Amino acid sequence: MIVFDADTGKYKRHWGAYGKKPDDTNLGRYNPNDPPAQQFRNPVHCAELSHDGFLYVCDRPNDRIQVFKPDGTFLKEKILFKNTLGDGSVWDIAFSKDPQQKYIYLADGTNEKVHILDRESLEVLTSFGDGGRQPGEFYAVHSIATDSRGNIFTTETYRGQRVQKFVYKGLGPVTKQDQGVVWPKTVKSPM
């Protein structure tokens, strides 16, 4: 992570995983049975600053989110779906639009899901989506964002090549770990 002054472009500081000095050693292929890598793998795929000043970093190939203070002080990490190989499971995040940003929406392009995490604990509460090209399915969900109304927008890469909008309809109880494909229910004809 490198911090530049937004007004002048002047370099301020940088750090690697766990707030340590980064180095360019080739870490080799990710192995889920190895201890967590002490450096980021390439690519670090997102860096999002929360309203309360914490920096959330997507270390995509290491299947983890790391959280820092803006000065680079490491706070915590969460390894998510650690058996995900290839492009990893942590592609991008967006925060919920409530003032506390209670939830994180995590785009997982390899597993073709959007996971909803509790921001404080980083625990997965539920997920939605599945692989495919129909509405509510994903083909390498790549980026995720929320608007001022809480709607979720996703983009897909490789051959997905589309944007999807998921309309915010309020909060409800989590009834199952995986919601599957969020697909509009068909209205039955009164025949």
Q: Any idea what the CATH number is for the domain that residue 49 is in?
A: 2.120.10.30
Q: 10-residue block means of pLDDT along the chain (191 residues)?
A: 95 96 90 96 93 97 97 97 95 97 97 97 96 91 96 92 93 86 63 52
What per-residue confidence (pLDDT) applies to 183?
72
Question: What's the Cα-to-Cα distance from 99 to each of 85, 148, 186, rounded to whole Å?
Answer: 35, 11, 34
pTM: predicted TM-score of the whole model, two decimal places: 0.92
What per-residue confidence (pLDDT) applies to 186?
56
Residue 186 within a domain:
no
What per-residue confidence (pLDDT) applies to 180?
85
Question: What's the Cα-to-Cα distance from 53 to each of 65, 71, 102, 159, 172, rounded to whole Å?
Answer: 16, 10, 14, 36, 28
Place of tokens 């360019």: 24
Residue 179 within a domain:
no
Q: How many domains does the chain have?
A: 1
Tell me phi and psi for residue 61, to 5 degrees: -70, -15
Per the structure, the complete domain to which residue 120 belongs is given by 2-166
Residue 187 within a domain:
no
Residue 96 within a domain:
yes
Nearest to 63 by CA among 87, 39, 27: 87
What per-residue confidence (pLDDT) applies to 165?
96
Residue 88 within a domain:
yes
Residue 57 within a domain:
yes
Residue 15 within a domain:
yes
What per-residue confidence (pLDDT) applies to 59?
97
